[in-house]
Structure 1
Amino acid sequence: MESTKQFAKYMKADERPSVDDSIDLSSLLGEWFNTKRDTNYIKKVILSDRNGSLIINAYGASDGGLIDWGEAEAIPYGSGISSLMAAGFHSLFNLDGIETHLVSNQKLSILCIQSYTRYLDGSGRIGHFSREFFHR
């Protein structure tokens, strides 16, 4: 007897078939540099595959060079109804009372990264958003 299990659906894009394959991370992997040299946000990211998991190393801008944020796991996403090729990701960095979510999409060899930052350190600073573009 075939399974009649139903999956949750809230939009047409949820009508995705189940697959046995994992998402192909190759389109995201490598070292990405901000196209804006004088950015105040993220200068570069390195995306790597560690045993099938997408790992991001991010580096923030500083007058004295780069600030190494360390690494975090990034959750990859495909684009389109049946794509198994990664087209973007999201990740979370918690850095001494500063929480930054990175959300990205990649198209035409450009990686667009949006950052959403909020301060949990009691400093009273206002959270901020940025969107910047990266190339290899």
Structure 2
Amino acid sequence: MGRSRGPRTLSSPAGTASQTAFRPGEPSAATPPFPRPRAPTQETRHDRTHPAHLHPGRPRPRSSRPAALLAALSLAGLLVPQSAQAAPADFVGTWVNSNVATSGITRVNVTRSGNGPLTVQVFGRCHPNDCDWGSAPVLTYGASVSDTNHLTATAVYAKGFSNTTLVMTFTRGRLDVQALTQFTDGSGRQNYASRDAFTRYR
């Protein structure tokens, strides 16, 4: 039977350590094994999500500053005070009562001079001709403190024996007029309210 070949021991002079010769391919007890590759650590994984400015080749995330600036400008626009006299041109025109048999207001004429406030002229049922109440300034209202599209308006008529407040609302191409009448002549007559729908004549 053949003997397995092991490391050869070389003789050395007295007083010196013996040396062992190793053949190629044989492991050496004095040489540690080659280190194995380590698994990615938290630090190396963190590089994948590191900010783009530390990685020149990567696209930078979009900034949220433009959106915040637009929101601030929009809010500032809402806080700008608006004129209480702003009113849509839809009010302007001659309006006739849809109820031809009414005993109250028969016609409403709304005018505007340039960019000034609105003015209303009211006609009531009289015989043989309708009575002219005269002209009164109109104050308009929006739906909120920032709404410039005013669709509600009021006008006050002082006739000496009574005061009548008109509340006019423009909606869907129609003018709704509510008249609130308060008697001031001591006649004992009851205050009353009426409401009529008006269509545009011209």
Q: Determine if the TM-score, normalized by the shorter chain, exceeds 0.5.
A: yes
Q: Distance in 2 between matches of 1:135 and 1:106?
A: 10
Which structure shows the bigger proportion of residues in helix conformation?
A: 2
Which amino acid counterpart does residue 45 of structure 1 have in structure 2? V
Unmatched runs of 5 consecutive residues or more in structure 1: 1-15
| Superposition TM-score, scaled by structure 1 size | 0.80
Q: Distance in 2 between matches of 1:127 and 1:71?
A: 22
| Superposition TM-score, scaled by structure 2 size | 0.55
Runs of 4+ more than 6 Å apart: none
Q: What is the number of equivalent residue pairs in this alignment?
A: 121
Residue 80 of structure 2 is aligned to residue 18 of structure 1? yes
Which structure shows the bigger proportion of residues in strand conformation?
A: 1
Of all paired residues, the percent bearing the same amino acid is: 26
Name the counterpart of 2:99. Answer: 36
Please give the secondary structure, in 2, of the residue aligned with 1:124: coil
Q: CA deviation at 1:36?
A: 0.3
**CA contact 1:26–1:86 (8 Å) conserved in 2:** no
Q: CA deviation at 1:97?
A: 1.5
Q: Distance in 1 between matches of 2:81 and 2:145?
A: 12
Write the mapping of 1:25-64 to structure 2, written as runs, cut at 5 A. Answer: 25-51=88-114, 52-64=116-128
**1:37-65 deviations in whole A, cap 9, x for unaligned?**
01111001111113511101001112322
**1:4-52 deviations in whole A, cap 9, x for unaligned?**
xxxxxxxxxxxx6334566243010010100000111100111111351
Q: Distance in 1 between matches of 2:159 and 2:91?
A: 24
Unmatched runs of 5 consecutive residues or more in structure 2: 1-77
Larger Rg: 2
CA RMSD of aligned residues (A): 1.9
Name which of structure 1's ranges 126-135 and 61-70 shifts more when overlaid on structure 2: 61-70
